[in-house]
């Protein structure tokens, strides 16, 4: 017969085992809850200022008083010159910027401005969007933000067809922007260097094109309406680098680490929107050499070498935003 002491020991071991299994399941459920947000059948309630309040845990005084796009009037009489050069400020690029702002616009469309509560989705370019069937859900958001030259045509079932804003820089500009955007899409220039302002000026004013100073040749002919062009306020690059990645604003020229356009877009959305969801974010594990990183092309993580982006650090930053509920994820992260 088994003694009472052994029964007690077995009972305690069984209890410990039950607790361990429960804890493991609860952690897994919590992980899914934090990093994956399935599409609801009905529209969720939207609370004004919710994203801003939650994001303040990371960004501090995250005020909507900061303009999203640069405007001409702020550069006629500059009382407080920018403290940083591009991409974190406009120091040294003011003359070029003045000429660009004179032929572009800065307004937020009335269709967005008039919304009582803005629901936004930032569509990343990640492999997770392939065969996701998220297209219809993405199209229902008030604001759909896309990145660089990520295609829509042919991928509508997974990524949708609506594009409210597309963040880009010269090297990532699609050669035929009318194919992948809507007629009213705002094309938002993210300037990493002064030459980016020079490029957009020559395109819009039909001046002699710039061919040097880029890591990849940008379009020399770019058929866009100047009134659809916006210049992103470098403030967002600054706080993404400082608050999310702890990067110094002044770095040796040979290093120049900087946030990706994707992380920048999430930072912008948290400033503009009341509800922020993301889709298609996340890179393969470092050991996975063959997994493609985009939903639309066959390049791997190797292509990120020398880009100046720390994808591991960015993943931690996004997970932190997911943990505090500042953003929710439509795809696994």
Q: Supply φ then ψ for residue 299, to 5 degrees.
A: -100, 150
Q: Contact 104/229 with Cβ under 8 angstroms?
A: yes
State how far the Cα of 28 lies from the Cα of 69, in Å rounded to an integer: 41
Residue 163, class by beta-carbon neighbours within 10 Å (0-12 exposed, 13-18 middle, 19+ buried)? buried
* Domain spans, the chain: 40-329
List the pLDDT tens digit at each of the 333 positions of the chain. Answer: 456 676 666 667 666 565 554 544 444 344 444 455 555 556 778 999 999 999 999 998 766 678 999 999 888 766 678 889 999 999 999 999 999 999 999 999 999 999 999 999 999 999 999 999 999 999 999 999 999 999 999 999 999 999 999 999 999 999 999 999 999 999 999 999 999 999 999 999 999 998 889 989 999 999 999 999 999 999 999 999 999 999 988 776 655 789 999 999 999 999 999 999 999 998 777 666 678 889 998 887 676 666 666 888 999 999 999 999 999 999 987
Check residue 286 and give its pLDDT. Answer: 63
**Length of the chain measured in residues:** 333
Question: What are the tokens at 218?
Answer: 């940008």
* 119 strand-pairing partners: 275
State how far the Cα of 319 lies from the Cα of 314, in Å rounded to an integer: 9
Check residue 42 and give its pLDDT. Answer: 61
State how far the Cα of 162 lies from the Cα of 135, in Å rounded to an integer: 9
- pTM of this prediction? 0.86
Other residues' Cβ atoms within 10 Å of the Cβ of residue 142: 18
Check residue 142 and give its pLDDT. Answer: 97
Residue the block writes with tokens 């017969």: 1
State how far the Cα of 238 lies from the Cα of 230, in Å rounded to an integer: 18
Residue the block writes with tokens 């960004």: 59
Task: Give domain 40-329's CATH superfamily.
Answer: Glycosyl transferase family 29 (3.90.1480.20)
Q: Which residues contact 90 (CB under 8 A, 6 or more apart)?
A: 70, 75, 82, 97, 234
Q: Contact 163/181 with Cβ under 8 angstroms?
A: yes
Q: Contact 34/322 with Cβ under 8 angstroms?
A: yes
Q: What is the pLDDT of residues 163-173, one digit of tens each?
A: 999 999 999 99
Residue the block writes with tokens 């900061």: 66
Q: Contact 36/318 with Cβ under 8 angstroms?
A: no
Question: What are the tokens at 181?
Answer: 């955007």
State how far the Cα of 229 lies from the Cα of 187, in Å rounded to an integer: 5
State how far the Cα of 330 lies from the Cα of 136, in Å rounded to an integer: 13
Check residue 305 and give its pLDDT. Answer: 65
Question: What are the tokens at 65?
Answer: 């008083």
- At CA 272, angle to CA 268 and CA 276, rounded to 5? 80
Check residue 76 and give its pLDDT. Answer: 76
């Amino acid at each position: 017969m088994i003694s009472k002491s052994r029964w007690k020991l077995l009972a305690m071991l069984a209890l410990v085992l039950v607790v361990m299994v429960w804890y493991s399941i609860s952690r897994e459920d919590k992980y899914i809850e934090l990093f994956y947000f399935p599409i609801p059948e009905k529209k969720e309630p939207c609370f004004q200022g919710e994203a801003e309040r939650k994001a303040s845990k990371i960004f501090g005084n995250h005020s909507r008083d900061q303009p999203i796009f640069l405007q001409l009037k702020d550069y006629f009489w500059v009382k407080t010159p920018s403290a940083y050069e591009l991409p974190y400020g406009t120091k040294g690029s003011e003359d070029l910027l003045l000429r660009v702002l004179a032929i572009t616009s800065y307004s937020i469309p009335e269709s967005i401005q008039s919304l009582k509560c803005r629901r936004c989705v930032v569509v990343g370019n990640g492999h997770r969007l392939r065969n996701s069937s998220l297209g219809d859900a993405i199209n229902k958001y008030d604001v759909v933000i896309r990145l660089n030259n990520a295609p829509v045509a042919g991928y509508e079932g997974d990524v949708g067809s609506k594009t409210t804003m597309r963040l880009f820089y010269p090297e990532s500009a699609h050669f035929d922007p009318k194919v992948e955007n809507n007629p009213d899409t705002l094309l938002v220039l993210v300037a990493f260097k002064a030459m980016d302002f020079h490029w957009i000026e020559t395109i819009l004013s039909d001046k002699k094109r710039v061919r040097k100073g880029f890591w990849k040749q940008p379009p020399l002919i770019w058929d866009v309406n100047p009134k659809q062009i916006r210049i992103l306020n470098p403030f967002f690059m600054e706080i993404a680098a400082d608050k999310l990645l702890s990067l110094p604003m002044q770095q040796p020229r040979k290093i120049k680490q900087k946030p990706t356009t994707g992380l920048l877009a999430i930072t912008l959305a948290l400033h503009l929107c009341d509800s922020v969801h993301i889709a298609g974010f996340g890179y393969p594990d470092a050991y996975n050499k063959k997994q493609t990183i985009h939903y639309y092309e066959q390049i791997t993580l190797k292509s990120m070498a020398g880009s100046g982006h720390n994808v591991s650090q960015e993943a931690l930053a996004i997970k932190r935003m997911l943990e505090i509920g500042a953003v929710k994820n439509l795809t696994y992260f």
